[in-house]
Amino acid sequence: MKSAHIDLEKGTATLPLRRGQLPNGTPVWFIITDSTDENISDLQGLAYSPKLAFALTGKATRRARIENNGTFTFAAGSVDFKPALSVTPGPANAPFPPKAFQPGSVGDADYTPLVYVENSAKSIIYNAPVVSQASEAELNAMCAGKVDYTKVHDKVAAICPRDGTVTIKMTLGFTFDKPIMYLSTEANDPLVASLENATFTPAMKDMPFALEDASPGESAERIVVVVNGPTGKDNPHRQGLVSALSGEGGPLNVLGGIPTINLDYSPMWRLFPAVWTDEAIQKGYRYRITSALQMAEMAHRGYIKSLDGGEFRAVGFIVNCPVVYRIN
């Protein structure tokens, strides 16, 4: 993502902090990560995602106008950042699913990060996650470094309207056997949003989730979330939600097509939960998977199932995870 300054040691991306407002004057602070237009993406340092053009479904995309001062006026959609993020794991021998959880931010029925720009001749859709709706003065008070998470997104590491920047914590995963860094900003399910430290966004439920990657109408790509991968903080094969909820590190999700590598990239990912079968575990077949092709092979062999024991598949969860950096 050319518009981002990457700090791999800290695991953060610093992006331009954009300014907008709702019709009632409420401030809206957001980032832009992707667009449906290749030339605009190149010009603005964004990821190009042609599949987002199919996101004009129901409330999955909201409307905005760009004013002559460059700010966005959003037709509707608001985020409440006041809830305190919390995830209480289950017992030590079965930390997933969590006993309790609460997303740290919640969008209303009209909020979505996808924005159709009404006064653009190109009919452009931006991926524009909101990171705060506090006043400029409240956010400038955070320029010194202390972030108030009742007013900003839980992934924000630093924010400063005076400098026009926001620094966001990235998430480590894999794609095509290479490490990848991405942002995680919204999810259409409260449990997934809590696990991802993302904004619970009910409107994203209007996006399709079960079509093939290149099908007309499909606006999302595939992301695999392993549930019961190998555990152990120093285990080189460590992976999955059980490991993450045990305090061993992130879940190390597996992503599909990404910018510059595949035309089917989308920052919206339909989630495929992956559960290793008892047979695979007993035979010692379980390992850290780093590509969607490996996952498909293990599923084809019957060693990976879905949450309900059925076939490995998308189950309706959508997460907004713009790709920032691939480590070669």
Question: Considering the chain, what percentage of its residues have pLDDT values greater than 90?
Answer: 91
The CA distance from 82 to 138, in Å, is 14
pLDDT score of 28: 98
Residue 214: pLDDT over 80 = no
What is the band of 73 on the pLDDT scale with cuts at 50, 70, 90? very high
The CA distance from 141 to 129, in Å, is 22
pLDDT score of 216: 85
Residue 206: pLDDT over 80 = yes
Cβ atoms of 267 and 320 closer than 8 Å: yes
Question: Considering the chain, what percentage of its residues have pLDDT values greater than 70?
Answer: 100
Residue 263: pLDDT over 90 = no
Query: Higher model confidence: residue 95 or residue 260?
Result: 95
Task: Give one word for 284, left, alpha or beta, with left for phi > 0 and alpha for psi -120 to 50.
Answer: left
Residue 64: pLDDT over 90 = yes
Residue 261: pLDDT over 80 = no
Instruction: Answer positive or negative: Cα dihedral of 256, 262, 266, 270.
Output: negative
Cβ atoms of 124 and 117 closer than 8 Å: yes
Instruction: Dig out the tokens for 40 from the structure.
Output: 């605009």
pLDDT score of 264: 87
Residue 274: pLDDT over 80 = yes
Average pLDDT, the chain: 95
Question: Which DSSP symbol is given to 152?
Answer: B
The CA distance from 91 to 219, in Å, is 37
The CA distance from 206 to 241, in Å, is 26
Instruction: Dig out the tokens for 26 from the structure.
Output: 């409420």
Max alpha carbon distance in the chain (Å)? 64
pLDDT score of 63: 97
pLDDT digits (tens, 9 = 90+) for 156-201: 999 999 999 999 999 999 999 999 999 999 999 999 999 999 999 9
Residue 213: pLDDT over 90 = no
Give me the mean pLDDT over the 278-290 stretch. 97
What is the band of 69 on the pLDDT scale with cuts at 50, 70, 90? very high
